[in-house]
Amino acid sequence: MRFERFPIALILLVATALLVTSLFTPAAVAQTVVNGDISGTVTDAGGAVVLGATVTLVDPAEGKTSTTATNSTGLYRFSFLKPGDYKLTIAAKGFNSVNQTVNVIVGQVITVNAKLEVGAASEVVEVTGAAPLIQTENGDTSTSFNESQLKALPAPGGDITSYAYTAPGVVVSNGAGYGNFSANGLPSTSNLFTVNGNDYMDPYLNLNNSGASNLTLGSNELQEVTVVENGYTADYGRQAAAQLNAATKSGTNSFHGNATYGYNGTALNANDWYGNATTPITSRPHAVNNTWAVAAGGPIVKNKLFFFADWEDLRMILPGVSGTNIIPTTLANYVLSQVPASEQSFYQNIFTLYAGAPGSSNATAVTGGGCGDLPSTSFAGPCAQQFVSSANNLITEWIFAGSIDYDMTSKDHLKGRYQMDRGVQATGTDPINSVFNATSIQPEYNGQLTETHSFNGTTINNIIVSGAWYQALFGPSSFAAAIAKFPTTLAWRHGRGFFSTRWC
């Protein structure tokens, strides 16, 4: 969380670069956290391996074609593939060809073995395949969500971390500490979040990166999400709990896009428990949430250059329901009768603020809130009254993300992505006067450039260069107005009605 009580905080994340080089051989194979692989063995009807079979992979969305051949053990492999559907064709002289549609999943190796039947190459066998229920490449426990599943799952406020809630072993954080969820009993600070293979962590705390709303916006941009637990292979590491790997959408040869809108208002919510417990009942707090998103993508140069852009926005009127203690008028009058004339204006100022607080007219005496240190003959009234406050505050946040995919050659793919996040956080809502409300302006900018080069069928190089800048400034919306209203703080040290420091 980024709710802070200190006046100003400035946090910068300096640009960093990550180089990942993966060498794929039949004996030792790795995978990445943002792409997927297709691998398999080609045999004949008798189970003997087929050497030199031609394996062709077509990406229908971008019109890209990749070709490889099976090695001496009948093995083939395509690596660093973006998630989505691919058309796989396997052909060999003297055998029927095999066609199959394969769905690539983030961070997983999809095994597609083929058994070729003797026949003419012009004879094609269509095979219907699906991702295996059990992942046999390693011991990682992973749960993947494709684009259609992401659309069907709820993501309150567009928060991408909410997709992890449906993964086994994941529970919503109980509020003891930081973070949105806990995996297999490990703390939320042990989770790792990546977008397109790049760390997407809070630069100040070891949590998911978030903006003014404390949500990790961007759900409308996602192509696929995989939640990996027990990830002890070399691809992961660093964090012991869950790793949420997200891959964003790209442009294709066809123009596509969407627009969404979500609303949640006061009439759709029940009253707060504390509001119902008061006498008279405190009215239901005013809470209104509006969220919307617009995205579009398509070709710039067919089969070569593509774009995708996403805009997401939210506005939340956030109520803060709490019990607030104030000084009653009877005690205020008594204090004013006891202090020197030179101090009258100071005390009158604070008493006027208390009397004008929203809900003060419904304040009731605090049980046991007498003034034990005052002579009973001087003042016999209660020292404290309490009312339940349901003051509102506004949170705004929007993000824009744009990406370019460029198939430079059949062996080189370049992806660039830029994102900006702007918002104002309602850090604190003051029940006495809104001039003391604390807010935080939290701009963030990040970008990454990814280049994937295929040297041959067994060697691929992937490099990610990324950087991010983030700032958070905490304090009243107007320091001048807050100081003019009341220039200091009061610490109540005596009396059973006030026993802790109060910020005015």
Question: Is residue 265 located within the same domain as residue 160?
Answer: no
DSSP helix/strand/coil, 335? helix
Domain boundary among 248, 268, 296: 248
Same domain (yes/no): 38, 148: no
Residues 479 and 374 in one domain: yes
Three-class secondary structure of residue 2 per DSSP? coil
Whether 110 and 153 map to the same domain: the answer is: no
Asked whether residue 283 is assigned to any structural domain, the reply reads: yes
Instruction: Kindly tell me if the per-residue pLDDT of 157 is higher than 60.
Output: yes
DSSP-assigned letter for residue 139: S
For residue range 243-278, list pLDDT tens digits in order.
Answer: 898 999 999 999 999 999 999 988 888 887 777 777
Lowest model confidence (mean pLDDT) among 278-287, 354-363, 411-420: 278-287
With a cut of 90, say whether residue 445 has pLDDT above it: yes
Q: What is the mean pLDDT of the chain?
A: 80
Choose one of 213, 248, 283: the last residue of a domain: 248
**Residues 229 and 367 occupy one common structural domain:** no
CA angle 378, 380, 386 (to 5 degrees): 130
| Alpha carbon of residue 422 to chain centroid | 15
Q: Looking at the domain assignment, is residue 22 inside a domain? A: no
The answer to whether position 25 is within a domain reads no
CATH number of the domain where residue 163 is located:
2.170.130.10
First-residue to last-residue Cα distance in the chain: 24
* 385 and 494 share one domain: yes
Give how far Cα 400 sits from Cα of 168, 202, 306, 322, 383, Å.
32, 18, 17, 35, 52
89 and 218 co-located in one domain:
no
Maximum pairwise Cα distance, the chain? 112
Q: What are phi and psi of 140, to 5 degrees?
A: -65, 140
Count Cβ atoms within 10 A of the Cβ of residue 99 and give its class: 0-12 exposed, 13-18 middle, 19 or more buried: middle
Average pLDDT estimate for 125-134:
59
In terms of pLDDT, which residue wins out, 306 or 186? 306
Is residue 268 domain-shared with residue 396, that is, in the same domain?
A: yes
pLDDT at position 18 is 34
* Sign of the Cα pseudo-torsion (372, 377, 382, 383, in order): negative
140-164: average pLDDT: 87
Residue 70 has pLDDT above 80, yes or no: yes
Mention every residue, 6+ apart, whose C-beta is less than 8 A from residue 27.
none
Does residue 492 sit within a domain? yes
Q: Between 136 and 462, name the one with better pLDDT.
A: 462
Question: Per the domain annotation, does 75 fall within a domain?
Answer: yes
Number of compact structural domains in the chain: 3
- Does 235 share its domain with 353? no
Q: Report if residue 465 sits inside a domain.
A: no
Residue 18 domain flag? no
Query: Are 325 and 428 in a shared domain?
Result: yes
What is each CA distance from 27 to 23, 30, 258, 460, in whole angstroms?
A: 11, 10, 44, 15
Distance CA 464, CA 461 (A): 10
Are 193 and 305 in a shared domain?
Answer: no
pLDDT value at 142 more than 70: yes
With a cut of 80, say whether residue 128 has pLDDT above it.
no
Q: Is the pLDDT of residue 226 over 80?
A: yes
Given 128, 149, 177, the domain boundary residue is 128
**Per mean pLDDT, which range of 183-197, 461-475, 482-496 is the poorest?**
482-496
Q: How far apart are CA 226 and CA 246, in angstroms?
A: 7
- Amino acid at position 251, single letter: G
Neighbours of 89 (CB within 10 A): 17
The reply to whether 483 and 367 lie within a common domain is yes
Residues of the domain holding 141:
137-248
- Tell me how far the alpha carbon of residue 196 is from its chain's centroid: 14
Q: What is the CATH number of the domain that holds 88?
A: 2.60.40.1120
In a domain, 288, yes or no: yes
